[in-house]
Amino acid sequence: MPGPNTSATDALSAAAKSVSVSEDTLTVDLVDGRTISVPLAWFPRLVHATKRERQAWRLIGRGEGIQWTEIEEDVSVAGLLAGRCSVETEESLRKWLAARRERRTGRSTERSGSGG
């Protein structure tokens, strides 16, 4: 019969300890020795990120997630274990890419006068 610490133990074992991002794979090493590797294509912002931006991750929530602040991407370890990819819509990604281009070029790509 499981004791009261079962969920705490499971949460600890599902914590990330390190992350690596290649041109096509996101790999997360867990504190319990497991390694999760998923296609980078699951996370379009990481696909569009520079190598430097991909390496600029930090663990959040005691390893429950990974955050890339510069590209506004958060990935949960539980989501990776469940096989969940990004749920960002195409429209949201297009807006993010447009804002990214704007920051790089220093000029607006919006055509309407509405703010937001």
Express each pLDDT in 46-82 by its tens digit.
999 999 999 999 999 999 999 999 999 999 999 999 9
Reported as type and span, the H/E element at residue 60 is strand 58-60
Return the minimum-mean-pLDDT range out of 10-14, 77-81, 104-108. Answer: 10-14
The answer to whether residue 9 scores a pLDDT higher than 90 is: no
Return the structure tokens found at 54. Answer: 């991909």
Q: Are 19 and 57 in contact (CB under 8 A)?
A: yes
Q: 3: part of which helix (H) or strand (E)? A: none
The class that CATH gives domain 15-105 is alpha beta
Quote the pTM value. Answer: 0.78
pLDDT category of residue 10 using cuts at 50, 70 and 90 = low
What mean pLDDT is reported for the chain? 86
Q: Residues in the chain, how many?
A: 116
Q: Which pLDDT value is given to residue 13?
A: 60
pLDDT at 67 (0 to 100): 98
